[in-house]
Structure 1
Amino acid sequence: MPRDFLKGAADEYDVIVIGSGLAGMTSANILGRAGHRVLLLEQHYKLGGLATWFLRPGGHIFDVSLHGFPHGMIKSCRRYWNRDIADRIVQLNNIRFDNPQFSLSTTFNREDFTKLLTTKFGIEHQNVVDFFDTARGMNFYDDQATTTKQLFERFFPGRDDVVRLLMEPITYANGSTLEDPAITYGIVFSNFMSKGVFIYEGGTEDLVARMKKELESNNVDIRIRCGVDRINVKDGHVESVETNGRTIRCKAVVSNANLKTTILKMLGTEVLDKDFIERANAVRLNNSSTQVYMALKEGEHIDESSGDLFFTSTSKEFRTDLLLSRDITSRTFSFYYPRTRPEKKDRYAVVSSTNANWSDWADLNDADYEASKKDLVETTIDALEKYLPGIRQKIDWAEAATPRTFQHYTRHEMGASFGTKFEGLGVSRELPQQVGGMYHAGSVGIIMSGWLGAINYGVIVSNEVDQALVSKAFPV
């Protein structure tokens, strides 16, 4: 008999959280801690969404998600998870760049960037100060018509090299482009510039394990392999969720699934206003990515002078279309030293990440798809050889992930790595006005995006749900 992943689950909960990405888990944790009956449903067999990991022969562990988040992650984890998790967040001190326009290393904070911009790039000091202050002062109530490109033209006209330094890491961090609203860049950039770039020491498997333990301590009922087919609505309010052949009642739903999937598939258009449906259909998905995971043989090593994050490019100029092109010119290498997982074997790994278009991979037949993945691995190793001569002979395992990989495992439409573009935020926030008790939390251009943005959006939404439950605003 197939396993019943809902065995022992109740017929009704206060809140059902759909999806165990960082926003979903954070929402579930806060609501469980507040004393509400919470059911967390995850369609995959692992928690974490894109913030997860996988194991390969030889004991190699790879983190899936892109790494590097602002200092604010420490505060959010300490307050909404626990000190045990927060204390394992450490700074990356060596962020490197190499491209035809410049080659440098930085601690990636305002002080060091100010020094670089004034000395290496020759920008007037006051101009740098004004730029940083402008970016730091941005918020969601600002003018959304100004693009990131226009922001750079205001402060650094004709300086494509400066734009490259300031923009490439943020594109890597949240998928921002020069054509997106300047606030989606400025807010993220300022948060990184406050104190630099940080990671979780111990690996994603350790982080998710500690989060799961915390969830269980707060009585959250966690169920894996439970994809949601339908969110049922009665008299304008969520009534239940259909999963694995069961209908489970609830007072509220928090969806951490893709915004468009949540609205157009799980809810369905018949319960929503026509104007809202049109705006939901118009929301643009963010880009996806390709990644190449490379693990070194036991006993082989990489010198830590190679850096922690390494932004490389062979392109003579910075252009958004080049970042997304199948003809890859830009790669970001994440280096994993033994200190990344201090309790594991002394192993070294490198993960290469490039932004990518779903359309370049979606329609390939099986043979062409496998050939393209193999080519991606080989060309990436070739690119890494430039910086680490002889690395090919040291590699024990290498494989590639594409937009199709991310779509398959996360069910994110078109393999979107960062949810939707900025306009998705307004649609996401309006969901409770369309359907009572229906909320969405995830990556939709929210401040800081990535790991920290996902957690903070989970915080915002769970507080709203908690207030509504406590005030008995939902039908009993």
Structure 2
Amino acid sequence: MPKDFLKDAQDEYDVIVIGSGLAGMTAANMLGATGYRVLLLEQHYKLGGMATWFKRPGGHIFDISLHGFPYGMVKSCRRYWTREIADSIVQLNHIRFDNPMFSLTTSFNREDFTKLLIEQFQVAPEAVHGFFDAARKMDFQDDQHLTTRELFDRFFPGREDVIRLLMEPITYANGSTLEDPAISYGIVFSNFMSKGVYTFRGGTDRLIGLMEAELKRNSVDIRIRCDVERIHCEGGRVTGVEVGGRVIKTKAVVSNANLKQTIFRLVGEEKFEPQFVEDAQAVRLNNSSTQVYMALKADDTIDESTGDLLFSSTAPVFRTDLLLSRDITSRTYSFYYPRTRPEGRPRCLIVSSTNARYEDWAELSEEDYAESKLDLVETTLDALDKYVPNVRERIDHAEASTPMTFKHYTQHVAGASFGTKFEGLRVSFDIPKQIEGLYHAGSVGIIMSGWLGAMNYGRMVASDVDNLLTTKGSRPAASIAD
């Protein structure tokens, strides 16, 4: 008999969270800690969403998704999770760039960028300071018609090399392009430049394990392999969700699913006002990505001067179409040294990431798809040999993922790695105005993309849910943290 993953689940909860990405888990954890009865439903067999990992024979554990995030993760993890999680966040000190314009290593903070731009790139100090100040002051009230390209042209006209230095890492971090609103770049970049780039010591598997333990301590009812079929709404408000042949009642739903999937599949456009539906249909999905996972043999090591993150490109200039092309010219390498998982078996692993279009992979035949994945691995090994000599002889395992892979495991529409473009943020914010008790939290608008953005969005939505339930007389004795 198939296992009943909803066995002993209650018929009603105060809040149901759909999806266990970092936004969904953070919302569930904060609401559970407040005393609400929370049900967390995840369609996959493990938690984490894009913040996940997989294992392969030989002691290899590969992290999927990003290797670096801003220092703000320390504060967010301490406030919304645990001190143990926050104390496990460590800095990456060697961020490398290697392209036809320049080759350098940076600690990726404002002080070091300022020194590089003034001394190596010979940019006027007033332009450098003016740019950093402008990025730091950006907020949601700013002119959203100014593009990132226009922002750079204002301070660094004609300096494609400066654009490359300041833009490439943010494109890797959240999918931003020069054509996107400048605010989507400025807010994220200013977060990184404050104190540099950080990662989680112990790997994503340890992080999610600690988060799962904290969720359980806060009495969150976690159910995996539970794919929600429908969010039920009556009279302009949420009433429950349909999952596993059951309808479970609730006063509030937090969807951590893709924004479009939430609106058009889980709810249905007939439940929303026509103008809202039109705005939601116009929201553009962000790009997806491909990754190649490579593990060195057990006794092999990589000199750490190779870097923690390496932005490598053979393209003459930084351009969005080149970043998305199947003819790959730009790769971002994440190097995982034994210190990444100090308690595990010592291993050196490399993950190569490239931005990609879903349609370039979805339209291939089964045979062509397999051949394209193999070609992706082979060409990546060719490119990596420059930085890890004789890498083919040193590799113990290599495999690739594509936009199709991400769609399969996360159910993200078109395998989107970073949710939607900027206009998706307003649509996501406005969902509760359409249906009382329905909220969305996830990777939207680029600003709310990445690990820190997702976590903070989950916190914001948890507060909104708490406010709603308070007005309905359903607030427990405990009080949610600000």
Question: Would you say same fold, with TM above 0.5?
Answer: yes
Deviations 1:350-384 (A, max 9, x none): 00000001111011011000000000000001000
1:73-472 equivalences in 2 (<5 Å): 73-445=73-445, 447=447, 449-472=449-472
Counterparts of 2:261 and 2:471, CA distance in 1 = 30
Please report how far the alpha carbon of residue 57 of structure 1 lies from its aligned counterpart in structure 2 after TM superposition: 1.3
Identity %: 69
How far has the Cα of 1:219 moved from its partner?
Answer: 0.3
- Rounded to whole Å, the distance in 1 between the matches of 2:465 and 2:353 is 36
TM-score by length of structure 2 reads 0.98
Structure 1 unaligned regions, length at least 5: none
CA–CA distance in structure 2, aligned partners of residues 366 and 473 of structure 1: 55
Give the whole-Å Cα distance in 1 for the aligned partners of 2:453 and 2:102. 30
Superposed, 1:46-85 pairs within 5 Å as: 46-85=46-85
Check the 8 A contact 1:338/1:346 in 2, yes or no.
Answer: yes
The equivalent of 1:18 in structure 2 is 18
Q: Which digits, 9 at most, give the CA deviation of each residue in 1:279-307, with x for residues without a partner?
A: 11110000000000001111011110100
What corresponds to 2:39 in structure 1? 39
Secondary structure in 1 matching 2:133: helix
CA distance in 2 between counterparts of 1:446 and 1:101 reads 27
- For 1:310, what is the secondary structure of its paired residue? strand
Distance 1:161 1:362, change over 3 A: same
Amino acid at match of 2:295: A
- The 1-side partners of 2:315 and 2:268 are apart by 44
Aligned partners of 1:86 and 1:434: how far apart in 2? 36
| Total equivalences in the alignment | 475
Contact 2:418 2:444 in 1 (8 A): yes
Report if aligned partners of 2:295, 2:397 keep a CA contact under 8 Å in 1. yes
Poorly superposed stretches of 4+, deviation over 2 Å: 446-449
For residues 256-292 of structure 1, the C-alpha deviation after alignment (integer angstroms, 9 at most, x for no partner) is 0000000011000111101101111110000000000
Whether the 8 Å contact between 1:358 and 1:404 is mirrored in structure 2 is yes
- How high is the TM-score relative to the length of structure 1? 0.99
Contact 1:187 1:448 in 2 (8 A): no
CA distance in 1, matches of 2:269, 2:22: 27
Cα distance 1:323–1:177, how it changes in 2: closer, same or farther (>3 A)?
same
Classify 1:386/1:446 alpha carbon distance in 2 versus 1 (closer, same or farther; 3 Å).
Answer: closer
Contact in 2 for aligned 1:188/1:448 (Cα 8 Å): no
Q: Does the CA contact (< 8 Å) of 2:419 and 2:449 recur in 1?
A: no
Q: Deviations over 1:171-226 (max 9, x none)?
A: 00000000000000000000000000000000000000000000000000000000
- Please list the CA deviations of residues 121-174 of structure 1 after superposition, one character each: whole Å capped at 9, or x if unmatched: 000111100000000000011000000000001111111010000100000000
Give the Å deviation of 1:449: 2.3
Distance 1:422 1:474 in 2: 34
CA distance in 2, matches of 1:448, 1:166: 20
**Helix, strand or coil at the partner of 2:442:** coil
Give distance in 2, aligned partners of 1:292 and 1:34: 41
Q: In structure 2, the residue corresponding to 1:108 is in which secondary structure?
A: coil
Partners of 1:92 and 1:473 lie apart in 2 by 47
Please provide the CA RMSD for this pair: 1.0
Letter in 2 for 1:167: M
**Partner Cα separation in structure 2 for residue 290 and residue 197 of structure 1:** 22
Please, which runs of 5 or more residues in structure 2 have no aligned partner? 476-482
